[in-house]
């Protein structure tokens, strides 16, 4: 086995082991955080540029290394780094569990890194469960000084829905293996092609995809998202809302890219889920007052937008979906960075708590405005360009009714995003104190704003890289 093909994963594994050993003793929090950052920095160094263009298969072709997988790993690790620096103090996490918090956060990222290189069903399942069970443990680690116990209810809901999704996926996998006699993606879909009129094959495909729809919070697999966002700490919610979606989109593209353009069942299923997700997410978000809960419903709607690219079953749609999920990663982390800073002791932030933010912290108010404008799809930010290209790809593929409904949903979504900006810039602070922002948060805030604007103004380079990555699959 070529060691360099597996080097980034090895570094994350060693980092997880180091964090586990550090959690056994009474060591200062700074040493654990440093160990995580060192492992993450080494992984990013290996991914770009050392192994970015590496190609090969490992573990009897169960693990695929190519430009597509390495790009998605790079984005995943950058997302983890951004969430770590966005709130370095971990105000919402109980001090006595912070060692374990860093450990499970790294393990979850490791599972996501494994996921995007998975080339068969069993590897995919193990990777998904490693990431998911780590997240299940992160949610109840929220500090409970206020005695609300909200995080416990959220964790139980998350586990129950997650276990149900895993069970459904395993049931579908057993059907697929029974029909085709293989677990490898490259052999699976060609073997399924003659059976696509079989109800068993259609049901099996839908059940396997259900677990990734759960990760993306696609309707009707969305029920966990608003409650988990609201009940988890701000830092945990920032990670759950952003990084796992990158890996889920990556593997969905890897699977759907194996389908032929005439796979009408898959296209129709994705189209229905896209429409339902957009309407449900946007309409329900209109009445939310808790910002994290609003972002939870917003995430459901954005999952519907991402599916616009997958519906096309073509290169342009897949590349645009990658572009959009990169932009969404930056947009949502920027929004949560502001929530983490505004929250004094890790409590949830309501829309009214943002009143007069431009006077209390001009940088945070500007970051929040850029984040909300981008998610609303207002130019010249990444959200606008991403939605425009997704709509264009869907229109060229012949999905005009879907494009019209997506445009209507974009208009609906603008209302609740602009309500947040209105609170930050038009309302009076009402005696609320000014907010001190640390150097790390300032730098990350500036970088996120630059990235969101740059992606919107000059998308060509990122889109070209995404297209090249997709070509390695096709």
- List pLDDT tens digits, range 388-423: 999 998 998 888 999 999 999 999 999 999 999 999
Distance CA 153, CA 149 (A): 7
55-69, 371-385, 427-441: the lowest-pLDDT one: 427-441
Q: Determine how many CB atoms are found less than 10 A away from the CB of residue 3.
A: 7
Distances (CA, A) of 308 to 272, 322, 432: 10, 12, 42
CA dihedral 288, 145, 97, 104 (to 10 degrees): -10
Mean pLDDT to the nearest integer, 234-248: 90
Intra-chain end-to-end CA distance of the chain, in Å? 25
Task: For residue 351, give the 3-state DSSP assignment.
Answer: helix
Distances (CA, A) of 50 to 6, 44, 66, 75, 463: 12, 9, 13, 15, 22
Q: What is the pLDDT of residue 145?
A: 65
Shortest CA distance to 299 belongs to which of 359, 358, 240?
Answer: 240
- Reading phi first (left if > 0) and then psi (alpha if -120 to 50, else beta), residue 61 is in left
- List pLDDT tens digits, range 76-89: 999 998 888 887 77
Shortest CA distance to 111 belongs to which of 137, 89, 85?
Answer: 137
Q: What are the φ and ψ backbone dihedral angles of 64, each rounded to 5 degrees? A: -110, 125
* This prediction's pTM: 0.92
Shortest CA distance to 137 belongs to which of 28, 240, 14?
Answer: 240
**Arithmetic mean of pLDDT over the chain:** 87
Please list the residues that pair with 290 across neighbouring strands. Answer: 350
Q: What is the pLDDT of residue 211?
A: 82
Distance CA 8, CA 40 (A): 9
- Sign (positive/negative) of CA torsion 174, 178, 181, 186? negative
Distance CA 107, CA 110 (A): 5
Tell me, letter by letter, the H, E, C secondary structure of 54-99.
Answer: CCEEECCCCEEECHHHHHHHHHHHHHHHHHHHHCCCCCCECHHHHH
Q: What is the pLDDT of residue 397?
A: 85
Is residue 354 within 8 A of residue 429, CB to CB? The reply is no
Where does 386-429 show beta strands of DSSP type E? Answer: none
Is residue 263 within 8 A of residue 201, CB to CB? The reply is no
Top mean pLDDT of 15-24, 46-55, 250-259, 365-374 is at 365-374
- List pLDDT tens digits, range 151-164: 788 888 889 888 88
Q: What is the pLDDT of residue 417?
A: 92
Q: What are the φ and ψ backbone dihedral angles of 66, each rounded to 5 degrees? A: -155, 180
Helices (H), 194-233: 199-216, 224-231
């Amino acid at each position: 086995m070529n060691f360099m093909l597996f080097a980034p994963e090895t570094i994350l594994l060693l980092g997880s082991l180091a964090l586990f050993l550090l959690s056994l003793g009474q060591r200062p929090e700074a040493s654990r955080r440093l160990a995580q950052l060192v492992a993450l920095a080494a992984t990013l160094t290996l991914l770009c540029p050392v192994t970015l263009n590496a190609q090969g298969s490992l573990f009897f072709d169960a693990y695929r290394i190519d430009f597509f997988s390495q790009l998605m790993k790079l984005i995943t690790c950058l997302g983890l780094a951004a969430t770590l620096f966005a709130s370095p103090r971990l105000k919402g996490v109980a001090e006595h569990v912070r060692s374990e918090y860093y450990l499970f956060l790294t393990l979850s990222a490791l599972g996501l890194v494994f996921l995007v290189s998975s080339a068969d069903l069993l590897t995919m399942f193990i990777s998904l469960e490693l990431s998911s069970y780590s997240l299940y443990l992160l949610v109840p680690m929220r500090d409970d000084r206020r005695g609300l116990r909200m995080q416990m209810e959220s964790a139980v809901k998350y586990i129950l829905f997650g276990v149900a999704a895993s069970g459904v996926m395993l049931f579908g996998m057993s059907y697929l293996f029974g029909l085709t006699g293989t677990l490898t993606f490259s052999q699976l879909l060609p073997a399924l092609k003659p059976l696509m009129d079989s109800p068993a094959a259609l049901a099996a495909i839908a059940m396997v995809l259900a677990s990734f729809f759960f990760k993306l919070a696609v309707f009707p697999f969305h029920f966990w998202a608003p409650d988990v966002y609201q009940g988890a700490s701000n830092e945990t919610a920032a990670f759950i809302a952003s990084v796992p979606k990158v890996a889920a989109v990556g593997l969905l593209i890897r699977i759907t890219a194996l389908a032929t353009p005439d796979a009408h069942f898959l296209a129709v299923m994705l189209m229905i889920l896209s429409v339902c997700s957009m309407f449900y997410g946007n309409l329900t978000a209109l009445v939310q007052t808790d910002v994290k809960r609003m972002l939870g419903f917003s995430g459901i709607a954005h999952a519907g937008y991402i599916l616009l690219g997958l519906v096309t079953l073509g290169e342009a749609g897949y590349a645009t979906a990658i572009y959009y999920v990169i932009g969404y990663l930056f947009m949502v982390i920027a929004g949560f960075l502001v929530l983490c800073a505004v929250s004094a002791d890790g409590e949830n932030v309501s829309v009214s708590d943002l009143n007069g933010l431009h006077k209390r912290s001009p940088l945070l108010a500007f970051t929040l405005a850029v984040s909300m404008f981008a998610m609303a799809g207002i130019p010249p930010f990444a959200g606008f360009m991403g939605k425009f290209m997704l709509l264009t790809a869907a229109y060229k593929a012949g999905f005009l009714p879907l494009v019209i409904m997506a445009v209507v949903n974009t208009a609906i979504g603008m209302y609740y995003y602009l309500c947040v900006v209105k609170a930050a810039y038009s309302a009076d602070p009402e005696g609320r104190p000014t907010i001190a922002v640390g150097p790390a948060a300032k730098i990350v805030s500036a970088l996120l704003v630059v990235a969101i604007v740059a992606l919107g103004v000059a998308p060509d380079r990122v889109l070209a890289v995404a297209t090249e990555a997709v070509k390695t699959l096709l």
